[in-house]
Homo-oligomer: A and B are copies of this chain.
Amino acid sequence: MSKKTVTDDISAEVRLELYRTQVRLREAEQRAFDLFLQNLVKGTSHLSLGQEAIAAGFAVAMQKGDLSFCTYRGHAHTLARGVPVEKVLGELMSRDNGLMRGKGGSMHLTSVEHGVMGSYAIIGAHLPIACGAAWRAQYRGDSDVSVCFFGDGTTNIGAFHEALNFAAIWKLPVVFVCENNLYMEYTPIADVTAVEHPAADRAAAYGLERIIIDGNDADEVLRTARKAYERARRGDGPSLIEAMTYRHSGHSRADPAKYRPEGELESWKKRDPIKMYRARLLKLGVSEAVLNTIDQEIKDEVEAATVACKAAPAPSADIIFTDVYADGGWAWRN
């Protein structure tokens, strides 16, 4: 592969990293879906199939120490920060090797050591929380950025409004990323939102710039992320970014997504972020062999993770009573 060709403002290494990350998210989540069909995933799960470019772009642009705040649809963002596939699948499968040993479940993936400060399942709750982490950075003079991911539907809940105003007036180093996948669960976002772009058309209400990007283009995502992170680190305050995308699967494992108009999925699949990115890399001169190697490495990683998870024991009963409080236990009385 010729570095010259593939490098512009984005280096060849970063481009390959973007590719690798997207493939990793795709493969891991497709495996999650397979395991669900095998009845090995308990509880619910919300996949980001089709939305990988956003998770990849924002994560690859981060520095170590930057913090991610995710939703119940958080597998992709968690994996994108480098959390091992095994840890994620283990949690989905309620195994002892899971990220939280099964105590949190698929909607609460958290890996503080990787900067994944939690996945939040109550719509909107984590936007103010991300503000708080950013406030700490500002207070201490730390240089990290807090990045908060959420969906289009989330822009209609009160906490969104409070967080955006709060971040703006305190000029907090926080980046709000709205993944507009056109649906709030089963309802088209347009049916329940007063503006066309649920996030971007409200940026001005917080004195912020209107930013809409192609969320299926990892390069565009990365460039946007870099700019927003720089702004935050400079002390210029928050950004609100609306990334247009589409989820290939249903809202959650329970949803066959029959509410979609005919052809919508197909047309978006033509704009599959990974397919498009692969094509771009090839066009930029990356050899098919390099990409195939990456594909294979990821497949192997996911396969190994699956094997490990299937072999992993269920969590032991004693952890039921651990970590309610900081002393490690749950005692509410003497």
Contacts and interface: CB of A to CB of B under 8 A. Distances in A.
B162 A158 contact: yes
A162 B159 CA distance: 10
Contacts of A208: 194
A159 B161 CA distance: 9
Contacts of A206: 194-195
B194 A168 contact: yes
Contact of A158 (B158, B195, B204): B158
Contacts of A201: 204-205
Interface in A151-171: 156-162, 164-165, 168-169
Interface residue tally of chain A, by bracket? Answer: 20 to 34
Contact of A162 (B157, B168, B195): B157
A169 B165 CA distance: 22
A221 to B, nearest CB: 24
Interface in A164-202: 164-165, 168-169, 191-195, 201-202
A313 interface: no
Given A204-B205, A205-B204, A194 B164 contact: yes
A285 interface: no
A207 interface: yes
A188 to B, nearest CB: 12
Nearest to A124: B158
Interface in A14-57: none
Contacts of A159: 158
A204 B208 CA distance: 13
Contact of A156 (B162, B191, B193, B194): B162
Contact of A205 (B157, B191, B195): B195
Given A165-B193, A205-B205, 16 more contacts: A156-B162, A156-B165, A157-B158, A158-B158, A158-B159, A158-B161, A158-B162, A160-B161, A161-B162, A169-B191, A169-B194, A195-B205, A201-B204, A201-B205, A202-B202, A204-B205
9 smallest beta-carbon distances between A and B, as pairs: A158-B158, A161-B161, A168-B194, A202-B205, A205-B205, A194-B206, A194-B207, A165-B194, A158-B162
27 contacts: A156-B162, A156-B165, A157-B158, A157-B161, A157-B162, A158-B158, A158-B159, A158-B160, A160-B161, A161-B161, A165-B192, A165-B193, A168-B194, A169-B191, A169-B194, A194-B205, A194-B206, A194-B208, A195-B204, A195-B205, A195-B206, A195-B207, A201-B204, A201-B205, A204-B204, A204-B205, A205-B205
